[in-house]
Structure 1
Amino acid sequence: MKKAFISKEQAEAIAREYPTPFYIYDEKGIRENARAVNKAFSWNKGFREYFAVKATPNPEILKVLLEEGCGFDCSSMAELVLSRAVGAKGADIMFSSNDTPVEEFVYAGELDSIINLDDLTHVDYFIENNIPFKETMCCRFNPGGVFKMSNGIMDNPGDSKYGMSEEQMAEAFTKMMEHGVKHFGIHAFLASNTVTNEYYPQLAGQLFELAIRLKEATGADITFINLSGGVGIPYTPDQTPNDIAVIGEGVHKKFDEIMVPAGLGDVAIFTEMGRYMMGPFGSLVTRAIHEKHIYKEYIGVDACAANLMRPAMYGSYHHITVLGKENEPCDHLYDVTGSLCENNDKFAIDRKLPKIDMGDLIYIHDAGAHGFAMGYNYNGRLWSSELLLQEDGSVRCIRRAQTMRDYFATFDELPVFNAIEDAIEESGQQ
């Protein structure tokens, strides 16, 4: 059974100051999890977790993770700017993007970040646009085909837009060495949200063997291997969570079996987790405001897919707790819906829950990664606030809720803007 990290009483007190819907994150949980990850890979002296900024791009969250020794994986100019703003510099930042504009590569270089190239053509792109190569560069690998694990997990690298073939990796390394690159990293992401302790060790084994072949083929000095993300979380209550200590030891075993005998025992291991680092430590809290009884039973809440799009976009399961009714029987069948003019705006379909009364607080679990970050403004719905439950039990606002004026701000150079301002005043909004 999943347990909320705030009680109904806490949520009601918070909602009096920060109206629903709101996101809330658990600082204590975030820190403890980051320390567990670092401990699991402490056998590797160069280990570092590069948190995927795209998962939760909030500066206060990034500060917490930076304090715990994490770096940041960025994929856009805004993510680079955000990482720099919270104090990350140099090797604190890994820049992994695709279809990248020149100015983003240039800025990543100015920050002295580690640049991870997605495609062989990007080498020529650097040359043609006079973008300086760094002494240390990385390339992303795509083995093609289908990545299948013994427990049935499968993903399809051959249908992915990311990464290079092995032959292209060798060509990229060789060409970059001709332009002054001295040290190389290998990066790959082959499966998403795996809830198994086997994924990282299996991936690591493939990448370790690739590193040996590339070193033999090119003579490149390979200094790190980035296992990227893909370590998932148990969204459903019946799933057994990953054990990061077991995962770390599994990678350790592969490292000792493959890398050490090949004379590559000093290669650093990087990870690049977003979901595992933050998913369970953030939740969306919303309130039941309508009920509807037609062919099904519906509960309407004041959040919508614009606040958390994963269920609508992917059909993803997010567990729901009705705060204050944790011990009541789940004997009612509901669709829990938002207000968007789209029929897929549903947080749950045919979900067994306790009887929900109007005004009840609905706690949507595991929204700490790819939750707020994927928000949007369809139907003019506004972004919620983001709050941090601090280690001392106090709550701090780390992003205020978007206002109507924020939403219309980019019309400020149009003649209609004054009329919009007047209409906002009439509506009683801000």
Structure 2
Amino acid sequence: MNSFFHYQENSLFCEEKSIEEIATKVETPFYIYSYSYIIQNIQQLKKAFSRYNPLICYSLKANPNITLCRIIASYGLGADIVSGGELYQALKAGFPSEKIVYSGVGKTPDEIKYALEKNILFFNVESEQELQEIKKIAEKLNKRAKVSIRINPDIDANTHHYITTGKKENKFGIPFPQAEKIYKEASKISGIDTVGIHMHIGSQIKNVEPYLEALQRLKIFIDKLTRKGINLSYLDIGGGFGINYREKEEKFPIEELSEKIAPLVPPGMRLIIEPGRYIVGNAGALITKLIYKKSGKRKEFLIVDAGMNDLIRPSLYGAYHRIIPVKKSLKKYGKKVDIVGPICESTDFFAQNRQFPAIESGELIAILDAGAYGVSMSSNYNGRPRVAEVLVKNDNWWLIKQKESYWNLTQGQIVPTDVNLYHREIMLPASPSSIEFWKMEGAGNDFILLDNRDEIIKKRAELAQKLCQRKKGIGADGLILIERAKQADFFMRIFNPDGSEAEMCGNGARCAARFAYLKKIAGEECTFQTLAGPIKARIKENKVKIKMSDPFDFKKEVK
């Protein structure tokens, strides 16, 4: 427990808002985050490392929710990413590209190209082949790529073996002898600027000794490079700062680390740290509801509506989370309980053999310290839609991600029309029997809107002719299809009732932007492609503003 998740009159609050009250409006299970707790963690990091003027790069893998990321970015932090998707999320959240570092052992050519086009700060290179791939793509784009080499210092971080990343048997980083060779080669490669050195030795680390040991080895190596004329600008020591998951545990001592690394940070090199869990971990909880109580021979099972697909850490790592009833009770079960979910796996549990207060079916339970690696590792396993997310600030709260619907479970799937899908007398439908559509009106014009990103609709013009008929169809001034775009949030295609395709329509564009926002295809600010060129849009509540392409071939006088 902490001051941000606390009881008031025996009811659990997040900041100054009753969780029971929120649960009357948001279906369980759902994640809930404390705005003020996140800010406190950011300020603690800034204060502890202030002597270095560091670049603090939030690790998106911990929790990529765009609202949380926007809050974090607004406090001047950069982003640590490990995929093209995370780069997209980081940019959407407002992290400046010049504050983004890209790690990960398997960067694809398309991801490298995307990062170069967006002018990120640098890549943390993890292999010689990756460096050559970056060089090749940078040359094609006529760009210079800034890189840092990730070192594997062969240090045991004394954490769970699934999340240790700095030992020689791990896939991450490059050993010192090989790294020296790569630094020498990189310094001679045109199109490559070697600007830094990087390490990341693990996650959920609880003491400073592994960092100090690794940094001592890095310091010797950096001095060696300097003597050979290779001068670096950035020292990226990664993240992995642990949090307290148990009542009497302490968070990672960031002040102690800051003080003790001072002799190990070379003058002239800017320090980078990559915290994720430390910022959001304790600031979030998973709220779930007790469905049934089931008596076993030796214990009680409390079956809740959240499952391992929503929070996999206990199943994957055997991780411990503090779990408390939302309505406080002083009673305890006579037997120890297992708190389990509805998933068809024996590993679907949140707690085992734990004393827990007596509660009844329908009551709420809070699984604390779930702000990191909860929603980011969630899945649709067992056909379960991903849950909603809520943000609380003081006594205000907002829904920052809607719960998925059953429709989302099949979104993106395509049944090919030319596949022979039958066995004996049983015939399966070759295409969806129904397609979800929306009807929207903009300044007097009405439109039918469909999400066609999976190209289920092939005969677009024919469909427009059928649907737009006022007496025989749905009736509309046009059919708008939202389709995929390579360099925009989506591509708007608009068809007139006669089947002809229009280049652009301002009222239709407003409807398209709001449709994409409501369907979570794009955010409040988006850019979409049309046959007339790119359009920018901004959505605020029920109002949509668009910036259309500049007029051309404009004549002031017409005779």
Q: Same fold (TM over 0.5)?
A: yes
What secondary structure, in the 3-state scheme, does the structure 2 residue paired with 1:17 have? coil
Structure 1 window deviating more from structure 2 (171-180 vs 22-31): it is 171-180
The 1-side partners of 2:125 and 2:208 are apart by: 28
Residues 308 and 372 in structure 1, CA contact (< 8 A), matched pair in contact too? yes
Map of 1:134 onto structure 2: 144
Residues 2 and 237 in structure 1, CA contact (< 8 A), matched pair in contact too? no
Map of 2:259 onto structure 1: 249
Structure 1 window deviating more from structure 2 (88-97 vs 197-206): it is 197-206
Map of 2:69 onto structure 1: 62
Map of 2:380 onto structure 1: 377
The 2-side partners of 1:401 and 1:409 are apart by: 15
Map of 2:397 onto structure 1: 395
The 1:293–1:4 alpha-carbon spacing in structure 2 relative to 1, beyond 3 Å, is farther
Q: 1:119, CA displacement in angstroms? A: 0.9
The 1:236–1:13 alpha-carbon spacing in structure 2 relative to 1, beyond 3 Å, is same
Map of 2:124 onto structure 1: 116
Residues 184 and 220 in structure 1, CA contact (< 8 A), matched pair in contact too? no
Task: Map residues 324-343 of structure 1 onto 2, 5 A cutoff.
Answer: 324-325=327-328, 332-343=335-346
Q: What amino acid sits opposite 2:132 in the alignment?
A: D
Match of 2:47 among 25, 39, 45: 39
The 1-side partners of 2:221 and 2:333 are apart by: 50
Q: What amino acid sits opposite 2:432 in the alignment?
A: N
Q: Does 1:280 align with 2:282?
A: yes
Q: What amino acid sits opposite 2:200 in the alignment?
A: F
Residues 58 and 275 in structure 2, CA contact (< 8 A), matched pair in contact too? yes
Map of 2:26 onto structure 1: 18
Q: 1:137, CA displacement in angstroms? A: 1.4
Map of 1:270 onto structure 2: 272
What secondary structure, in the 3-state scheme, does the structure 2 residue paired with 1:204 have? helix
The 1-side partners of 2:165 and 2:97 are apart by: 33
Residues 321 and 368 in structure 2, CA contact (< 8 A), matched pair in contact too? yes
Q: Which runs of 5+ in 2 are unaligned?
A: 13-17, 417-428, 437-559
Match of 1:235 among 223, 245, 248: 245
Q: 1:206, CA displacement in angstroms? A: 2.9
Map of 2:296 onto structure 1: 294
Residues 200 and 231 in structure 1, CA contact (< 8 A), matched pair in contact too? no
Task: Map residues 34-183 of structure 1 onto 2, 5 A cutoff.
Answer: 34-45=42-53, 47-113=54-120, 114-129=122-137, 130=139, 134=144, 136-144=146-154, 146-147=155-156, 157-180=167-190, 181-183=192-194
Residues 195 and 231 in structure 1, CA contact (< 8 A), matched pair in contact too? yes
Deviations 1:100-135 (A, max 9, x none): 210101111111111111112212223445466635
Map of 2:197 onto structure 1: 186
What is the alpha-carbon root mean square deviation over aligned residues? 2.5
Q: What amino acid sits opposite 2:291 in the alignment?
A: I
Q: What amino acid sits opposite 1:36 in the alignment?
A: Q
Deviations 1:223-268 (A, max 9, x none): 111111121112122322223222222222x33xxx5xxxx31211
Q: 1:19, CA displacement in angstroms? A: 1.0
Residues 320 and 364 in structure 1, CA contact (< 8 A), matched pair in contact too? yes
Structure 1 window deviating more from structure 2 (285-294 vs 193-202): it is 193-202
Deviations 1:174-220 (A, max 9, x none): 22221244442111112321112444344333322221122224x21
The 1-side partners of 2:49 and 2:370 are apart by: 26
Q: TM-score with structure 1 length normalisation? A: 0.88
> How many residues in Structure 1 have an aligned counterpart in Structure 2?
408
Structure 1 window deviating more from structure 2 (161-170 vs 4-13): it is 4-13
Q: What amino acid sits opposite 2:384 in the alignment?
A: R
What secondary structure, in the 3-state scheme, does the structure 2 residue paired with 1:231 have? coil
What secondary structure, in the 3-state scheme, does the structure 2 residue paired with 1:43 have? helix
Q: TM-score with structure 2 length normalisation? A: 0.69
The 1-side partners of 2:223 and 2:334 are apart by: 57
Q: What amino acid sits opposite 1:309 in the alignment?
A: I
The 1:90–1:131 alpha-carbon spacing in structure 2 relative to 1, beyond 3 Å, is farther
Q: What amino acid sits opposite 1:224 in the alignment?
A: Y
Residues 193 and 231 in structure 1, CA contact (< 8 A), matched pair in contact too? yes
**Greater relative contact order (Cα < 8 A, sep 6+):** 1
The 1:6–1:409 alpha-carbon spacing in structure 2 relative to 1, beyond 3 Å, is farther
The 1:297–1:2 alpha-carbon spacing in structure 2 relative to 1, beyond 3 Å, is farther
Q: 1:418, CA displacement in angstroms? A: 3.1
The 2-side partners of 1:160 and 1:405 are apart by: 40
The 2-side partners of 1:387 and 1:19 are apart by: 11
Q: Which runs of 5+ in 1 are unaligned?
A: 423-430
The 2-side partners of 1:200 and 1:242 are apart by: 12
Deviations 1:323-349 (A, max 9, x none): 222655576511000001101000001
The 1:15–1:380 alpha-carbon spacing in structure 2 relative to 1, beyond 3 Å, is same
Residues 164 and 203 in structure 2, CA contact (< 8 A), matched pair in contact too? no
